[in-house]
Structure 1
């Protein structure tokens, strides 16, 4: 029995490390798909999200999300981390074979992801301080309260709503905030021309964006694999298989549809298709067959292409495709639980639909109140000149890349010749 507890706990800690590694993937993806003059700003936001997110989750988020006995809507188990003890040692029976501390850290890694989704959507034009304030409120209060309704044993859990690893609880929660934020912010200069045409603003480092996606795919082994909450060999291996197959199908189908519609093989659409497949399978990775996973991922890949086009058509500017990937595919993956797999059926589908609607109302309402209040009080958008120059020099006083690198090498060459 003791060996089983140790095995489960070690597996959960490995998964925690993999989810932590995902934050590097998000950072690479975001800076790769945006311009180099804003790279420091994006990196700063990503570091702030993970550091502040963990502290907020330790202070109150964990106990808001898992309050124990509560009314199903709002509960709070107190400030700080207070592990249950038995005879002076940690009570391993508190969870299914892993410690309270491991539970906190694993769930804390999830908490920061919701704000990271928003970071990419608002890139290149949102002031840093308002974004930091938004992150504190959204990660500290909104995310854990929303999470308690399902994962904390709240009213949606009692209604039968199912979300294995967070298609809605993590990805759509972040996605709803992202669409509110970009609507209130407005588009980047040059994104939409006066004649109604679309202006291309290409990312500055696509290889870095690809590295980010591969890191995220690897991290998803912990994101979904750890959500089994044990090292059970049959359950974890099935989850990893469905996760990988959905990712592969999402990438292939996004690439095929994009090539058919636009007559070019767009790598960024291929990459976002992979992420769409991952988000889509996350809600039901443990209850799907390999065939179900391929179907869910394939549909998610098609949704990515159509979703990105839709966002452009309604004149919203999403530099990294966060809304299509995390919100739209998150909704699809959540509803897919009622269509495919072991839980398929009308009753389950309606429960899934009710959960999606509940989170849509709560998250859009909360995000609007926070961001609109910031817009009216301190402003949320940088000045035109700051946007044109880049946020790195104005917000941080530094640049990610040395502009005079070639000149420097030339100077060194001259010195060497002397």
Structure 2
């Protein structure tokens, strides 16, 4: 009897400890679930916002092409987004986040992604897949605008399939998939100035060179402007892209379940906005100086995009003032690069190469300064982590440029010498709407 009493008393004494232990475990699990939900929502909402960028690209491009090509350009943007989704599901995601790589550079292909949900990952797997998929579509949209008005639909979509299944995912794996740039050179690209925008820019540049300029663009050494059909529509596209960038950069924090994370997302929003503002004002000011007081609206639009691309590589570390300056330099680069391309007889219909490629390079290189880093070469700290350096960033830029250019050239040339990538002169002059789509965007103005 005494033994039973002692046992009961001992059990009663330990009961609060047991309750506290169980309560602590429950509280910890509840905290993990809460963070899991918050992080997943960040991916989902950010992905929805980035998806809206597809509409922004569509409106911008439809406004900057001539009216005889507006329906074609609209359809291309809807089609490329669809192709990107299928290819990322089939192979692209597994290439960007491979389980095995060849020396950290090329992932071993595995096909058909399927979600494996685990509370320990901190987010729903499908939410991450969706967020990454809309990034891939963004890179493809960059190519679409540059080669507009003189490329056939199906060859372009075939190129898009290769870009979204292999070319872009391989580049993304070098940094975001833990590949060689991340592990060996300390390369840093927060949301994709190089991995997304320069990748799309290099593919666009190579395509523009291989396809050639539009008929009548360069004649007898002179540049003949080909104004867009709808500047207000292009302005709408610019604002949609500006809005979409908050999801692009903000959700790239990859977490929102803690005090520090949600504050970081907020700061990223503010810095992203200020970079765009700086890009617009700088582009407007420079065009006014260069063109006798006239401000080119399309330069202002691309100044905003150039500023946004410039801050994308590191939107968290800089101050708001530094972010404005980084964006302003991007706006200046846009204005200076457009006439340079004309001199080189490279026809970029919407100005995507200056805004995405050139500003992507600038934004990536300035990351080291954003951290206050004066180290010129990659160097490991006491724990073995490699810090951000100017040389490390440059290596990333060069690696991306070389790989994407070669891979894109192979695909473009293969298409050129097989199915053909350019319409007949008669079809190009008549417009891609009639030749490829079968209806006109503005039939009453035909």
- Alignment of structure 1 residues 141-220 onto 2, 5 Å: 141-158=166-183, 159-194=185-220, 196-220=221-245
Using a 3 Å threshold, how does the CA distance of structure 1 residues 370 and 404 change in structure 2: closer, same or farther?
Answer: closer
Distance 2:162 2:201 in 1: 16
Q: Name 1:408's counterpart in structure 2.
A: none
Q: Secondary structure at the match of 1:81?
A: coil
List alignment gaps of at least 5 residues for structure 1: 85-89, 406-418
How far 1:344 sits from its partner (Å)? 5.4
Contact kept, 8 Å, 1:272 with 1:321, in 2: the verdict is yes
Q: Name 1:320's counterpart in structure 2.
A: 350
Distance 2:418 2:274 in 1: 47
How far 1:343 sits from its partner (Å)? 4.6
Contact kept, 8 Å, 1:11 with 1:230, in 2: the verdict is yes
Contact kept, 8 Å, 2:249 with 2:315, in 1: the verdict is yes
Distance 1:35 1:311 in 2: 20
Q: Name 1:357's counterpart in structure 2.
A: 398
Contact kept, 8 Å, 1:171 with 1:327, in 2: the verdict is yes
The one of 109, 118, 125 aligned to 1:91: 118
Distance 1:285 1:342 in 2: 14
Distance 1:404 1:135 in 2: 32
Q: How many residues align?
A: 397
Distance 2:364 2:358 in 1: 10
Distance 2:275 2:374 in 1: 18
Q: Name 2:444's counterpart in structure 1.
A: 403
Distance 1:282 1:343 in 2: 18
Deviation track 1:194-248 (CA, whole Å, cap 9, x = no partner) reads 2x22111000100000000000000000000010001222110111111111100
Using a 3 Å threshold, how does the CA distance of structure 1 residues 287 and 344 change in structure 2: closer, same or farther?
Answer: farther
Contact kept, 8 Å, 1:289 with 1:341, in 2: the verdict is no
Distance 1:273 1:377 in 2: 38
Deviation track 1:267-290 (CA, whole Å, cap 9, x = no partner) reads 111110000000000001122121
Deviates more, 1:342-351 or 1:240-249: 342-351
Distance 1:198 1:77 in 2: 45
- Alignment of structure 1 residues 1-400 onto 2, 5 Å: 1=31, 2-70=33-101, 71-76=103-108, 78-84=110-116, 90-94=117-121, 97-158=122-183, 159-194=185-220, 196-231=221-256, 232-263=261-292, 264-343=294-373, 345-347=375-377, 348-400=389-441
How far 1:69 sits from its partner (Å)? 4.5
Using a 3 Å threshold, how does the CA distance of structure 1 residues 185 and 404 change in structure 2: closer, same or farther?
Answer: closer
Q: Secondary structure at the match of 2:214?
A: coil
Deviation track 1:308-337 (CA, whole Å, cap 9, x = no partner) reads 111111111111001001100000000011
Q: Secondary structure at the match of 1:346?
A: coil
Q: Name 1:412's counterpart in structure 2.
A: none
Rg comparison, structure with higher value = 2
After superposition, the CA RMSD in angstroms is 1.3
Distance 1:20 1:345 in 2: 37
Contact kept, 8 Å, 1:46 with 1:116, in 2: the verdict is yes
How far 1:190 sits from its partner (Å)? 1.8
Normalised to the residue count of structure 2, the TM-score between the two structures is 0.87
Q: Secondary structure at the match of 2:223?
A: coil
List alignment gaps of at least 5 residues for structure 2: 1-30, 378-388
Contact kept, 8 Å, 1:68 with 1:77, in 2: the verdict is no
How far 1:114 sits from its partner (Å)? 1.2
Contact kept, 8 Å, 1:66 with 1:77, in 2: the verdict is no
Using a 3 Å threshold, how does the CA distance of structure 1 residues 344 and 175 change in structure 2: closer, same or farther?
Answer: farther
